[in-house]
Chains A and B, each alone.
Chain A
């Protein structure tokens, strides 16, 4: 079995988000980059499914050379090899196209993504790859069982879940619950340095979207404190002032 896991390189979750160049670019100065937390879940699931010699896990990232420490981290967690498509990922359409093109010429049984990248929060890449490859895509799963030919997955829906069965190739995007995130051990970290990391040139595709401007939410006014002894007053404020109840 061969599994491809898509990983994105994102700012650490504690990052205070700021922008430069007239708010047109994310300010990366001093920012620590990590494997997107959901992609760690996808990767951990893939490793789990391949344990005991049942298969191999390849990680793929669309990014410039600066993302290599993140790719090495994924190798340290336990991926067998890695591919980097050498381009700045300008939008989900571009990124998905690169992943799909790579997957077309390399036979994978299953492709796993994270539910969304925590920077642009698109939740777009997985379903786009599915469409480019004309295979089923299942977004936001929280459980995945595989018997070698058929996968049974649970997808999140508003107020519940849907159980889906799929035979043949598919792509899914993983949320919490799918797997316990694995932490790299010493041996993993040592071997990550020598595992294969192939760099592939990107292919051209039309650009359909572009971020023009970023902004941060306006700050809130100072908090209005209600004394604990006068709890009932809070209800009045929410009703009369905030008009939310």
Chain B
């Protein structure tokens, strides 16, 4: 019996969300008195693979096969399912990332496993059951799901568990399962990734702005504030609809749901569809000139004022704070 965690690499490196998934998987393995194996696909060097031991993986299956250089969910799912069988895994953990969302369901079907996506807590194993809490209704609620299958698959939400160190000696093993050529019908032509930007779904801090900013030319101060904080930028739906900002920044019920440690909402009214995607943020700050804006009702801190005066002051204060 073991727990298997899929560690998604980007250009041969692991992101924080991967160490978080490993930490989470390790905690499940401890609860079940079993061991934790990680599976890495693509070219990752030994130093980087050894990092996984810091968070509790005692074994790493490393798959490096030129065919698997790019992420193709159909082929990756086959490899991970094979690894689960080889390791006798009863639980498979992965990050609920964009790739994870295309991968988890395929692994689950292959293993005839129940799947919980968007898990926010460790499974509750009381009474021999296996119950996991996840977000539902776009963050307006949580659902506790019981999995009754022999094997369980869990996709963990970013920032839900945190990274926990748990140093273990790691054994790295090469794993080369056979891959079917029919699993490569989808061909990756191009990968475009902005390396200088913090990606919104994983961000711990987010600065977001809405229609109160009046126009795209005013986003300079939002970007400056975000960059001083090391935060990602986000926006409300009308802002991306008007092409002031790209679609991938749109948060809310019909955009991305996020749960950063800090969400700063500037010139956003706080409509129910917007709140749906951000209300599970740990701390919420609202800056709005209208004291009646609904967003203040769900905020931890607020400033009633004009964004064009408050934000520059905030930038100054932050610069002073950082020294």
A residues near B, CB below 8 A?
11, 13-14, 16-17, 19, 37-38, 92-93, 96, 118-128, 130-132, 134-140, 142, 152, 155-168, 170, 175-177, 206-217, 220-221, 223-228, 231-232, 234-239, 242, 244-245
Contacts and interface: CB of A to CB of B under 8 A. Distances in A.
Interface in B196-223: 197-202, 205
B272 A210 contact: no
B216 to A, nearest CB: 17
Contacts of A92: 105, 115
A32 B231 CA distance: 37
B147 A13 contact: no
Given A131-B110, A139-B102, A161 B192 contact: yes
A8 to B, nearest CB: 13
A137 to B, nearest CB: 6
B137 A118 contact: yes
B152 to A, nearest CB: 9
B284 interface: yes
Given A136-B185, A158-B202, A164-B186, A124 B102 contact: no
A139 B188 CA distance: 13
B186 A212 contact: no
A220 B299 contact: yes
A220 B296 CA distance: 11
Contact of B320 (A123, A228, A232, A238): A232
Interface stretch (B44-52, B56-64, B84-92, B254-262): B254-262
A118 B303 contact: no
B238 to A, nearest CB: 13
Contacts of A207: 148
A79 B286 CA distance: 43
B262 A157 contact: no
B247 interface: yes
B185 A166 contact: yes
A223 B297 contact: yes
A93 B304 contact: no
28 contacts: A13-B273, A16-B140, A17-B137, A19-B141, A119-B136, A120-B143, A121-B138, A127-B105, A134-B182, A136-B73, A138-B73, A140-B98, A140-B102, A156-B98, A158-B97, A159-B193, A160-B191, A160-B194, A164-B187, A170-B186, A210-B148, A212-B146, A217-B141, A224-B301, A232-B316, A234-B285, A234-B301, A236-B321
Given A139-B98, A225-B302, A163 B188 contact: yes
Residue of A127, A163, A175 contacting most chain B CB atoms (<10 Å): A127
B123 interface: no
